[in-house]
Amino acid sequence: MYQIKTLIGMYALITHTLNIMPALLFIMVKSGIKKIIEDQEVEKEKIGTTEKIIKREQLDPWQRFVQNDLIKVTMGVKRSGKTVFIHLLLKKHNYAYVNFDDERLTFIEKDDLNDVLESLYEIYGDFEYLLLDEVQNVPGWELFVNRLQRNKIKVFVTGSNANLLSKELSTHLTGRFIEMEILPFSFREFLLYRGIEKIKTTTRERARLKKNLGEYMELGGFPEVVKDPEIRNKYLSSLYSSIITRDIIARYNIRFVKTFREMATTLISNFSHTITFNRLKNIHGFKSIHTAKNYVEYLSDAYLIYILGKYSPKPKEIANSPKKLYVTDTGLINTLSVSASKNKGDLLENLVFLQLERKRAQNPNMEMYYWRDYQGREIDFVIRIGKSVDTLIQVTYASDRDEIDSREIKSILKGASLLKCKNLLVITWDYEDEEIIDGKKIVYTPAWKWLLGLD
């Protein structure tokens, strides 16, 4: 069977040589859409039967929203497990499914969406729930979703571009949707995939957990890599290239492709460190600081990187401060970073950030910053809940108290006084204790314990 895109591209030739009426071509295209969705329906039915699927940590908190009439929007980096997550949410319900990231559907435009809907009804019959996968690939999708909601269909949407989704949602679906963010596997999910469900704290088990944490920090949490670690470099390089090429360069019509790629590599190689748009401008020869800012935003919108602002009670200072950068997966860092040697302390800090981001995604009152004063003292993470600073966190790859840099302690104590915060946490590789300095209690906890919520 000819691919649909090819049929449309050859429309003039077909009608000229075979004298096929446009109505007949329309029927052929519509038939092709149905065939593609039928193929996808077969793939849908295989989920959980032909491959190992684990229960994601966010599944239970989101179960209560399944029957809600609000549109559910699941966002996150490509191949992080968003689609499987929604399939698990809906597995007990009668739902239809279409994946717009299928290359055979790249021709779809908003005027074709009704044909897609008709095909879905032909294949699935009456359905109450509908999953639209990577729907941002279709211009005007939000108006279609709007209509579906008015017709009492419970719509689930996935996407991997924050800017496109948020702009369209805020314009057309204000107040009628909720967002969920899905990241690659957490450490607990990584262990669960490996069959480690019950966590014990015996000496042997502690050693096993630390070994697994080291492997998790090296491999990252993309499901396909966790499933088959041997493919890490090839798979992640290909995924990264696809996101850069299809979802950023092509979508935003970036002219200076080589320069953009070089800047992206620079950012990934500077994970867990601060950057400024002016420095990026100078390094890569951009004509304006706005170009650097836009490029960083494109990478952030595609969920490849996260940007953290400096804590300040003044919004303008937050906006103008250097930004701290984190990457969506440590496996990507180990595959792509040009750093001669990977700093395990920086990798551990990146892991801690990602776990904090998982928590923030479920708590709308939580905000995250770093802190630095004019004397260069720095705190890795400032957690604010509502209007109050709740917790200060330092991260260090230390296995003993003597390995912890005294500047880390001085910084968190200074920050505690200035920010009026009593919860002081130092996440280590393998050191656990508490101590009181100048009347302030500092808690030291191993990363494996904190990542598993056992602290």
What's the DSSP call for residue 338? Answer: -
pLDDT classification of 201: cutoffs 50, 70, 90: confident
Of 320, 289, 288, 326, the C-alpha closest to 306 is 326
Cα separations in angstroms, 452 against 27, 199, 213, 284: 54, 9, 11, 40
Length of the chain: 455
Question: What pLDDT does residue 342 have?
Answer: 65
Segment holding 73, helix H or strand E: strand 71-75
Secondary structure class of 178 (helix, strand, coil): strand
Query: Which of 147-151, 216-220, 404-408 has the weakest average pLDDT?
Result: 147-151
**Model confidence at 12: pLDDT above 70:** no
As a whole number of angstroms, the distance between CA 441 and CA 446 comes to: 17
The structural domains of the chain, ordered by start, are 4-180 (3.40.50.300), 203-451 (no CATH)
Query: Which of 6-20, 40-54, 154-168, 170-184 has the weakest average pLDDT?
Result: 6-20
**Model confidence at 15: pLDDT above 50:** no
Residues 226-269: pLDDT tens digits? 999 999 999 999 999 999 999 999 989 999 999 999 999 999 99
CA atoms within 13 A on the CB side of 94: 9
Question: What pLDDT does residue 401 have?
Answer: 95
Q: How far is CA 90 from the centre of its chain?
A: 21
Question: What pLDDT does residue 366 have?
Answer: 97
Question: What pLDDT does residue 140 have?
Answer: 84
Q: Please give the structure tokens belonging to residue 376.
A: 């260069």
Question: What pLDDT does residue 270 have?
Answer: 94
- The one-letter amino acid code at 71 reads I
Show Cβ contacts of residue 88 under 8 Å, excluding neighbours closer than 6 positions: 48, 53, 55, 56, 59
As a whole number of angstroms, the distance between CA 22 and CA 345 comes to: 63
Q: Contact 135/141 with Cβ under 8 angstroms?
A: yes
Residues 362-386: pLDDT tens digits? 998 999 999 999 999 999 999 999 9
- Other beta carbons within 10 angstroms of residue 257's beta carbon come to 13
As a whole number of angstroms, the distance between CA 142 and CA 140 comes to: 6
